[in-house]
Amino acid sequence: MHSSNLLYVPLRNTQALDLGKELSNAIALKFFQPASLFEQDLNYLTSLRDKVTGISNDDSSLSASIVQLESFQLTLFTYLSCLKELDKKFFDGCVDFTWFPTIYSKRSTPVTSDSFQYEELNIIFQIGCIYSLMGFGQSRHLDEGLKKSCQYFQLAAGSFTKVQQQVDRIVQTPVENRQFDPPLDFQKETIQCLSNLMLAQAQETVWQKAINNDTTKDSIVARLSFQTFVFYSEAFRLGQLSSFIRLEWINHIAIKKFHFLAAAHLRSSIASLNSFQYGEQVAHLRIAQQAIDKAGKYKRYVNQFVLEDFSGLSETIAIKLRVAEKDNDLIYLRIVPKESDLKPIVGVSMVKPIESDKFGDLLPSARNPLFADLIPYVIINYAQAMRERQEDFVQSKIYDPLQSLNLLMTKFLVERDIESNIDSLEQPENIPDSIINHSREIMDHGGISSIEWSFSELSKLNKECSHLVVECQKRIDIYRQEDEMIKRMHGPSGDIRPNTSSDASDILIAKVDKMREYLKQAELGDKTIIEKYNGIAPVLKVFVGGYSSLNKFIPNSNYAKLDENLSLVISELRDCVSKWETIKSDRSQFIIRVEKKNRENTILPKLIEEYKQNKESLYDSEGQIKSTNLELIYEAHLKILDQDLAYLQQTKQDQQQLEHQIEALNSKFLAHYHTSVSSTQLQRQQALQSLDAAYVKYLEIISNLEEGVKFYHDFINKGTRLLHELEEYLGKRRMESRELEMALSNHQQRIKEQQQKTALSSQAAVRQEIVSPKGQKTNIWNPDSGIKFD
């Protein structure tokens, strides 16, 4: 690159990456296809990413020819189109992309993200950098070079504007749905500073072309100059707000800003002189001189070519002001108006951010479509999510309702003492079969020791959950302490990290608070289960004691001949109880059939078929899968369970009819029972009733314990994820804090140096002498020559 009085934006550096290998690992891990099927695509991407790395990290890129830069640009656009394809096919988290900011410091902290959007953002930024290099590299001695330079700087501004638009979309996305948080040097002020700098330089080339034309009017040149000043002024303002713009850039932009303000008023003074407005001529020259004086404190670290241009302009203004003031004082005697009384110079903008057509027409690369036969991970992810929803659907719509029906019927029979009343009359000495079956069931499940072990497990899980909450709270406390420390050190206005205290941190804190509340509710539930268990523990000991224990617990009764009508009712009740046993058995077989059907009928093949048949219509205008289309497939898939849901309704109706029948028979039974039962039979009935009641509560306790264990395991899984989120967030904030420290240190050093320069300039001004004008400098128009547009 030749020496110039303009700036280019340096390329960001990146860490080398074997992209093909990383994607191959992702395919092997998450996709149901072998990576070997896509070997050519994987090798192609590795090669392409290597080229991007070479362009970004090779210092020789800065001195490349325009042809080479155009080749680099083509590589970047090709890679960008590939990234958009990869974003559709793969998932965030499968590749780590690392980039090093370079716009504000040679020593910068690398930023790593596993999001394809982050990689896209950096590539768009690189494209803007290449355009700035192309604009910087054009010859400014010929109109054609100025024209191309202007076009390239506008394209650079358009690229940086696109970066800003992408960042705005990310920031506007709710924190919990963001794929990543943009790095600090992609903040609004920094990117907009670069965009305005590129527009200022593009406008400057228009101004340069105008002054090269001898017939261009001074008033037009003044307006072009003033608009150039406007762009540089905005870039300077944003650069001051950003802590990531180099000091030498700030000074460069400041010199340029005041240079073009002075140039605008110099040209206006010439126009005033030509209109015989001698007072206005002096006023414009004085304003120009004031701009020159203000610029003096920014000369340090500024390019020599910029200073030469500025020096030439300064000398010209000084001479013209001295002559104009002398002529007006001695000859014209015109009143010199105040600046506020002057007709304002209205800038005319000849440039704007231009977004390259290649962004809107990111055609597939030579090897695209990449991974044509690879099922996008979003389809697999949807399939996994829908599989979980299917499991939940079967659980909530079939398993749970059926279990509730069984428990309701058991409670119905126990509350009415059906079996205990019958057994107390028909079996005065034998232990009823139902009681023996309950005893075996309880012992098969481990009896009392199993329940007590479950309570022990619940206690351990509760402690583990409590520890998780404590650890999460520790991370929150650390975050608050470190955040407060940053604010104490630099003040609220000095903390230029992304303002996530009202979004990300608040969301995480709310999650921790909710975890704590859930845990309190679970502990209350555990106490309720323990109290319920303590209430039936003595009777459970009878069940697990076996036949001898039951025989001691259940008193024998005297045998009595039953009334014929009572015997008939008892017989009918026995039949109803048998029907219930048959229904329970059928339901057990039904559950086995549903489990098999649910296991064998997965939705993934249907989603894959839909994707292959309607690939294009599945994506929206932004390249995202339309979830509504997949929801229709899911709804159709669930119809395989329609017959099972119908069975559930039918067995529910059968149970209700059986309950009505038992209720009616029980009323008849009780009418005879109270007149024929003996005291010994009543004692036996009460013992059997207490066993039945304990059995029902035992079933409830077993169900409660299972739910408790499931709750704690889910709590641990979600709590562990939240702890990782907190650690990642804390690490991210610490990294931002380190970058903040570096940026603020640079910023404070910049202020200190400017203060020193101001002091030196003030001292120098006292000793300054007016010198004779120097010869014309490079890139400085001749104020005495007329200029015009072609």
State what percent of residues in the chain have pLDDT above 70: 87
The first and second tokens of residue 213, run together, are 């034309």
Enumerate residues 6+ apart whose C-beta is below 8 A from 458: 526, 705, 708, 709, 712
Q: How far apart are the two ends of the chain, measured CA to CA in Å?
A: 28
Q: Is 354 helix (H, G, I), strand (E, B) or coil?
A: coil
Q: What is the rounded CA–CA span in Å between residue 8 and residue 141?
A: 18
pLDDT for residue 106 is more than 70: no
Q: Is 376 helix (H, G, I), strand (E, B) or coil?
A: coil
112 phi/psi in degrees, rounded to 5: -120, 135
Q: Determine the pLDDT at residue 499.
A: 52
Q: Determine the pLDDT at residue 502.
A: 47
Q: Determine the pLDDT at residue 270.
A: 96
Q: What is the rounded CA–CA span in Å between residue 109 and residue 174?
A: 26
Identity of the amino acid at 312: G
Short-list 288, 264, 188, 193, CA closest to 231: 193
Short-list 534, 590, 531, 546, CA closest to 406: 590
Contact 724, 474 (CB under 8 A): no
Q: What is the rounded CA–CA span in Å between residue 40 and residue 521?
A: 56
How far is residue 700 from each of residues 192, 330, 415, 418, 493, measured CA to CA in Å? 65, 111, 15, 20, 59
Contact 474, 691 (CB under 8 A): no
Supply the DSSP symbol for 59. Answer: G
Contact 573, 428 (CB under 8 A): no
pLDDT grade, residue 22 (50/70/90)?
very high
How far is residue 543 from each of residues 345, 425, 551, measured CA to CA in Å? 101, 22, 10
Residue 481: count other Cβ atoms within 10 Å of its Cβ: 10
Q: Determine the pLDDT at residue 525.
A: 93
pLDDT for residue 107 is more than 90: no
What DSSP letter does each residue of 540-605 carry, written as one string? Answer: HHHHHTHHHHHHHHS------PPPHHHHHHHHHHHHHHHHHHHHHHHHHHHHHHHHHHHHH--SHH
Range 215-220, long-range pairs (CB < 8 A, 24+ positions): 215/786, 215/787, 215/788, 216/786, 216/787, 216/788, 216/789, 217/271, 217/786, 217/787, 217/788, 218/267, 218/268, 218/270, 218/271, 218/274, 218/786, 219/267, 219/268, 219/271, 220/348, 220/788, 220/789
Short-list 210, 14, 200, 198, CA closest to 102: 14
Q: What is the mean pLDDT of the chain?
A: 86
CA 680 to chain centre: 73
Residue, of 245 and 685, whose pLDDT is higher? 245
Q: What is the rounded CA–CA span in Å between residue 33 and residue 38?
A: 10
pLDDT for residue 104 is more than 90: no
Residue with tokens 């996305």: 173
The secondary element (H helix, E strand) that includes residue 192 is: helix 188-211
Q: Determine the pLDDT at residue 785.
A: 41
pLDDT for residue 788 is more than 80: no
Q: What is the rounded CA–CA span in Å between residue 446 and residue 434?
A: 19
Q: Determine the pLDDT at residue 777.
A: 39
Least confident of 346-355, 685-694, 731-740: 731-740
Q: Determine the pLDDT at residue 428.
A: 66
The region, left, alpha or beta by phi > 0 then psi within -120 to 50, assigned to residue 67 is alpha
Question: What's the whole-number mean pLDDT along residues 338-355?
Answer: 95
Q: Determine the pLDDT at residue 769.
A: 44
Contact 36, 11 (CB under 8 A): no
State what percent of residues in the chain have pLDDT above 90: 57
Report helix, strand and coil shares of the chain as percent, to nearest 5.
Answer: 75, 0, 25
The first and second tokens of residue 603, run together, are 């939705």
pLDDT for residue 133 is more than 80: yes
The secondary element (H helix, E strand) that includes residue 442 is: helix 433-444
pLDDT for residue 736 is more than 80: no
Residue, of 747 and 121, whose pLDDT is higher? 121
For the four alpha carbons of 387, 389, 395 and 398, in that order, the dihedral sign comes to: negative
Residue, of 225 and 563, whose pLDDT is higher? 225
Q: Determine the pLDDT at residue 789.
A: 36
Identity of the amino acid at 695: Y
Q: What are the strands of the beta sheet with 111-113, ordered from one edge? A: 13-14, 97-100, 111-113
Supply the DSSP symbol for 538. Answer: H
The first and second tokens of residue 527, run together, are 């106490």
pLDDT grade, residue 780 (50/70/90)?
very low
pLDDT grade, residue 679 (50/70/90)?
confident
Q: Determine the pLDDT at residue 343.
A: 94
Residue with tokens 């007006």: 328
Beta bridge partners of 112: 98
pLDDT for residue 110 is more than 60: yes
Residue, of 244 and 486, whose pLDDT is higher? 244
pLDDT for residue 771 is more than 50: no
Least confident of 97-111, 571-585, 667-681: 667-681
97 phi/psi in degrees, rounded to 5: -105, 130
pLDDT grade, residue 202 (50/70/90)?
very high
Residue 720: count other Cβ atoms within 10 Å of its Cβ: 14
Domain ranges (residues) in the chain: 13-365
Q: What is the rounded CA–CA span in Å between residue 471 and residue 465?
A: 10
Q: Is 476 helix (H, G, I), strand (E, B) or coil?
A: helix
Residue, of 769 and 551, whose pLDDT is higher? 551
Question: What's the whole-number mean pLDDT along residues 504-516?
Answer: 87
Question: What's the whole-number mean pLDDT along residues 93-102?
Answer: 92
The first and second tokens of residue 232, run together, are 């540089």
Domain 13-365 bears CATH identifier 1.25.40.280:
yes
Q: Determine the pLDDT at residue 58.
A: 83
Identity of the amino acid at 7: L
Residue, of 569 and 387, whose pLDDT is higher? 387
Q: Determine the pLDDT at residue 730.
A: 83
455-505, pLDDT tens digit by residue? 999 999 999 999 999 999 998 898 888 878 877 776 655 555 555 444 577
